[in-house]
Amino acid sequence: MSEGILRMKGLVLALAATATAAISGCQSAPKPEDMARTSLQTAPADLQLLCAHAAAGAAQVDTAKVLPTSSRALDAASYSVDLDAAGRKFTCIVDTAGSVKSVTPV
């Protein structure tokens, strides 16, 4: 390649890198209080799975057909987990020790 073409490619690459840096510099991370999951304490995944298993038994469906849809802390020692069991809705209460207190159809 000729020296002029190499210089032109180098200039194009430099301009592209500068433009990319300028564009990405315009984005800023949200403040922690604006991030998802900061307004509520969600249940840990293992507790959600315990509730899913319990709801599968209550709904008499395979555990693969039960999905947690949301969760929230009720107090310092327990969580409420909303579940979809093959189209049927359930709410589960589980404590931090992993003991399922209730599974209720909604």
| DSSP result, 5-47 | HHHHHHHHHHHHHHHHHHHHHT--PPPGGGSTTSSS-PPPHHH
- pLDDT tens readout for residues 15-25: 555 555 555 55
The pLDDT of residue 26 = 61
Q: pTM of the entire structure?
A: 0.65
Residues near 92 by Cβ (< 8 Å), separated by ≥ 6? 51, 54, 55, 80, 81, 82, 83, 100, 102, 103, 104
The pLDDT of residue 85 = 97
- pLDDT tens readout for residues 23-72: 555 667 767 665 555 557 999 999 999 999 999 999 999 999 999 999 99
